Chain A
């Protein structure tokens, strides 16, 4: 009985391969987008863990200098002599072959054993690593770039791109320093150690954290990605829902026959569950493979984004991780279950003697429009409550989810009202039939149109956010990067020599001086600024006390960046330690908090910190001539002087890459929605003949009927597009005013881009036209005998 029943059920798919393809493709695409995003997230998180473990930033306590001052060899030795088990780490930037690398020097023999051991800790490779000119570990992709240098490199896949690991002695030589950046504290320390303050009061013990700073800072970025992955998955599930609903409806007579012939309801439901599970597993496997390709293609951009935005080192090579492919399969199974639950419930309630209505599914859908609208109104209310009283990133996403689902659920009723209006305004028999027939088609197309609405709204919302961000960011870069040249020196002595030479050659030399610190348990920077017109004229403060620059120069208080202000609730007039907040400035593209002190106040607090970077205001002098002269005179490397245009270009490049993933997801989501329309039209086309044959018999040619089918698809897409505009703008507002503020710490003004929306609308209508073209051509070519069969009594 089971085998015969299963064979009968499966035979439907053999006879309707297109429907099978629809369901598998929809589910595979949904799974691909979801698992692709998850693969990227998993890879990034693994990179953070690796970095945190290798450097001990995550799990091990560290000893650092007060106010981030570097440590020296003597301090290290005195700690070891006092019984502290510590391992030294040095970090710095190194320019090799025109590229900048982050070099980490480690002492492999004392490195904590629990740390993610790099290759040199294996005994066989140790000698080569700790030799005077030992091997430097490099990511295999970077090894080629560095092949022509004098150093010996060893490719190590565990290394992230753009980073190098060397023995500490070699690293110090390359970085031209004797200093130690930090000391990792081994977990098992001997008893009876003297306290740190008695050994050296300038040392600070920073307790280990469960999670690295990078992971915490990038959490919101990954949450954003996950949210978009989920949205794409939801759009794909719409296709699956439509395909399963249609397949169940088409097989309703078969189910009834099977029941009549003696297949118990429970067995029938179980067989259908087995059938769908098999499909979900197959589609899930295909989706995971596609997701892998998708993630592999996008990972380099994501890695670049995370490097640029958060200074997080993420490998750009994808590893197959059981966690994400299992989660992909689980999503495919869960998505299928969710999409099929309604069909199962209907089947469970289906009376054995219910008459078979060819359009029962559609009729049922039509009657549910009102129910959906009521749920939409309820979700809208919940969303409004989130907007009014919610806080945090999750509340922002909950608001987004309510907004999107409510709009999608309200769409069929909205379109129905639009079509009813069209029907009232129509004059003549054909237009009246056209509008009435379009209303009849709506239930069959509503799922695809809901997917299209979501995809279009996501496109409008995200493109509005990105374009608003771009406008603000470029304007902000123009303000912040006011100096024509930026000078990088390697030591205070070199800095003194170069600035002394430049004194009468440029209008102003503005030191860029800072220390790293922690505020509210997150990384932050403290800057000192000179009292100069460059800052007064160019820095637009979001909020400030009167005469803010005079008061800053006088040491009356500090400026803080927007993200620190929001994070720590520091508005103007608030206290940050002993300082008063005098103003808040915009600081886009930077995840860390910043505090700005007047230069005198900075030197008073941090007398040992010297400036190594300077902004040069060249005034009337030609910046290029100044740079060339300085390079010639002091034989400076190319990177010692960077012009403003180059920094802006790099910043903008980082910006563009930041949103490349979002843009790719947008395009994919829109493509999936276009596919959903194609599939819906094709499947509906098979049920259309009984509705079209009478109109054909009354004198409308097949070509005209086909043309009307095209017009119908275009009209429905256009109406959906119209509904997507306000939804997309609402989405943009939530992203800019709530999600971005929570995720990145800054709020951006919202600009409108009508031309972009028109362009998107045009693309959508073109997609709908192309999707409708095939079914329309099939209709135009339908032979008269196929139409005549509709009137045959024997059918």
Chain B
């Protein structure tokens, strides 16, 4: 489903250019869960951003469902994020002026795939049915991340990209969130590519890739 081939990316810094990704290649099957680990600055988030169409590679190719992403313009990459890929951030990135229910439904509505029953099931699944009319500011960090997960899955993406989704949470909450993400993704038939520092959490996923100095090392 996902094919990454020979991906490179560098950034301009005060000392010249820094190579962040240096010939990264890997693939993912439909429904597969993959953990991406590595030390800080190893290029994990950059790789996630490139796959999510949030940034462009210097060279290399990304194909999703056999469709090449590299040549897409802003409109095409926006359509990709809307319809095929869902991204979950460490900072939740909820819309503060929308209620919990509206936030969950939002991505699906944007993608034109709003299914009220599915949204209701997801809301129930994350245990926030009685908080559905509250605004994000009234929720704890764990609850906000649950809303973010539900929002992503409500749009039925083919691939969920999760950038340290539990990085802001305590251990108990992190465990709950991860379980929730994996279970709901499995129910929806969605693949999950998750960036994490934690080897414990990585072990819960089907496969693990380690990035070091911009290269896949294991």
Say yes or no: B168 contacts A353, CB within 8 Å: no
Given A1-B112, A262-B80, A262-B110: A794 and B98 within 8 A (CB)?
no
Does A8 sit within 8 A of B, measured CB to CB? yes
Say yes or no: A264 contacts B75, CB within 8 Å: yes
Q: Report the separation of the CA atoms of residues A795 and B78 in the bound assembly, to the nearest whole angstrom.
A: 29
Q: A79 to chain B: closest CB distance in Å?
A: 78
Say yes or no: B97 contacts A254, CB within 8 Å: yes
B95 contacts which of A254, A356, A794 (Cβ < 8 Å)?
Answer: A254
Does A321 sit within 8 A of B, measured CB to CB? no
Q: Report the separation of the CA atoms of residues A794 and B106 in the bound assembly, to the nearest whole angstrom.
A: 23
Chain A residues closer than 8 Å to B146, beta-carbon distance: none
Given A1-B82, A4-B109: A256 and B93 within 8 A (CB)?
yes
Say yes or no: B82 contacts A262, CB within 8 Å: yes
B106 contacts which of A8, A264, A793 (Cβ < 8 Å)?
Answer: A8
Given A257-B93, A262-B83, A264-B75: A11 and B112 within 8 A (CB)?
no
B107 contacts which of A14, A261, A353 (Cβ < 8 Å)?
Answer: A261
Does B54 sit within 8 A of A, measured CB to CB? yes
Say yes or no: A261 contacts B140, CB within 8 Å: no
* Number of A residues, CB within 8 Å of B: 31
Chain A residues closer than 8 Å to B91, beta-carbon distance: 356
Say yes or no: B94 contacts A15, CB within 8 Å: no
- Residue among A12, A16, A253, A260 with the highest chain B CB neighbour number at 10 A: A260
Say yes or no: A260 contacts B110, CB within 8 Å: no
Say yes or no: B78 contacts A263, CB within 8 Å: yes
Q: Report the separation of the CA atoms of residues A254 and B93 in the bound assembly, to the nearest whole angstrom.
A: 8
Contacts of B109-149 to chain A: CB distance below 8 A: 109-112, 135, 140-142
Does A566 sit within 8 A of B, measured CB to CB? no
Q: A787 to chain B: closest CB distance in Å?
A: 15
Does B29 sit within 8 A of A, measured CB to CB? no
Given A5-B110, A266-B75: A260 and B93 within 8 A (CB)?
yes
Does B102 sit within 8 A of A, measured CB to CB? yes
A4 contacts which of B97, B110, B135 (Cβ < 8 Å)?
Answer: B110
Say yes or no: A253 contacts B78, CB within 8 Å: no
* Number of B residues, CB within 8 Å of A: 33
Q: A34 to chain B: closest CB distance in Å?
A: 32
Chain A residues closer than 8 Å to B81, beta-carbon distance: 260-262
Chain B residues closer than 8 Å to A793, beta-carbon distance: 141, 168
Does B216 sit within 8 A of A, measured CB to CB? no
Say yes or no: B97 contacts A11, CB within 8 Å: yes
Say yes or no: A11 contacts B95, CB within 8 Å: yes
Chain A residues closer than 8 Å to B96, beta-carbon distance: 15, 253-254
Q: Report the separation of the CA atoms of residues A443 and B10 in the bound assembly, to the nearest whole angstrom.
A: 35
Does A502 sit within 8 A of B, measured CB to CB? no
Does B55 sit within 8 A of A, measured CB to CB? yes
Q: B116 to chain A: closest CB distance in Å?
A: 14
Q: Report the separation of the CA atoms of residues A655 and B95 in the bound assembly, to the nearest whole angstrom.
A: 59
Say yes or no: B94 contacts A257, CB within 8 Å: yes
Q: Report the separation of the CA atoms of residues A109 and B209 in the bound assembly, to the nearest whole angstrom.
A: 102
Chain B residues closer than 8 Å to A261, beta-carbon distance: 81-82, 87, 106-107, 110
Q: Report the separation of the CA atoms of residues A253 and B106 in the bound assembly, to the nearest whole angstrom.
A: 15
Chain A residues closer than 8 Å to B94, beta-carbon distance: 257
Say yes or no: A15 contacts B141, CB within 8 Å: no
- Residue among B52, B82, B96, B142 with the highest chain A CB neighbour number at 10 A: B96
Q: A692 to chain B: closest CB distance in Å?
A: 19
Chain A-chain B contacts (Cβ-Cβ < 8 Å), number: 83
Q: B111 to chain A: closest CB distance in Å?
A: 7
Say yes or no: A265 contacts B135, CB within 8 Å: no
Q: A158 to chain B: closest CB distance in Å?
A: 54
Does A703 sit within 8 A of B, measured CB to CB? no
Contacts of A219-277 to chain B: CB distance below 8 A: 253-254, 256-267
Say yes or no: B78 contacts A264, CB within 8 Å: yes
Chain A residues closer than 8 Å to B95, beta-carbon distance: 8, 11, 254, 257-258
Does B213 sit within 8 A of A, measured CB to CB? no
Complex: chain A residue closest to B80, CB-CB = A262
Does A522 sit within 8 A of B, measured CB to CB? no
Q: B149 to chain A: closest CB distance in Å?
A: 14
Q: Report the separation of the CA atoms of residues A653 and B50 in the bound assembly, to the nearest whole angstrom.
A: 76
Does B208 sit within 8 A of A, measured CB to CB? no
Contacts of A519-548 to chain B: CB distance below 8 A: none
- Residue among B54, B87, B94, B95 with the highest chain A CB neighbour number at 10 A: B95
Q: Report the separation of the CA atoms of residues A3 and B105 in the bound assembly, to the nearest whole angstrom.
A: 13
Does B204 sit within 8 A of A, measured CB to CB? no
Complex: chain B residue closest to A253, CB-CB = B93
Complex: chain A residue closest to B143, CB-CB = A794
Does B74 sit within 8 A of A, measured CB to CB? yes
Does B197 sit within 8 A of A, measured CB to CB? no
Complex: chain B residue closest to A3, CB-CB = B109
Chain B residues closer than 8 Å to A4, beta-carbon distance: 106, 109-110
Complex: chain B residue closest to A12, CB-CB = B97
Chain A residues closer than 8 Å to B49, beta-carbon distance: 353
Q: Report the separation of the CA atoms of residues A12 and B79 in the bound assembly, to the nearest whole angstrom.
A: 24
Chain B residues closer than 8 Å to A266, beta-carbon distance: 74-75
Q: A17 to chain B: closest CB distance in Å?
A: 11
1/0 per residue, CB under 8 A from A, across B140-172: the answer is 111000000000000000000000000010000
Say yes or no: A15 contacts B54, CB within 8 Å: no
Q: Report the separation of the CA atoms of residues A264 and B79 in the bound assembly, to the nearest whole angstrom.
A: 8
Does A352 sit within 8 A of B, measured CB to CB? yes
Q: Report the separation of the CA atoms of residues A260 and B49 in the bound assembly, to the nearest whole angstrom.
A: 10
Chain B residues closer than 8 Å to A11, beta-carbon distance: 95, 97-98, 102
Q: Report the separation of the CA atoms of residues A15 and B136 in the bound assembly, to the nearest whole angstrom.
A: 12
B74 contacts which of A16, A265, A353, A356 (Cβ < 8 Å)?
Answer: A265
Say yes or no: A15 contacts B135, CB within 8 Å: yes
Q: A399 to chain B: closest CB distance in Å?
A: 46
Q: Report the separation of the CA atoms of residues A361 and B94 in the bound assembly, to the nearest whole angstrom.
A: 21
Pick the 6 closest A-B CB pairs, nearest first. Answer: A262-B82, A794-B141, A11-B97, A262-B81, A4-B109, A264-B78
Some 13 contacts from A to B, beta carbons below 8 A apart, are A1-B112, A7-B102, A8-B95, A8-B97, A12-B97, A15-B135, A254-B96, A258-B110, A259-B78, A260-B89, A261-B106, A262-B79, A794-B142
Which A residues form the contact surface with B (CB < 8 A)? 1, 3-5, 7-8, 11-12, 14-16, 253-254, 256-267, 352-353, 356, 793-795
Apart from the given pairs A15-B97, A263-B110, 10 other A-B contacts in the complex at a CB distance below 8 Å: A11-B97, A254-B96, A256-B93, A260-B54, A260-B87, A260-B89, A260-B93, A261-B110, A262-B111, A267-B78
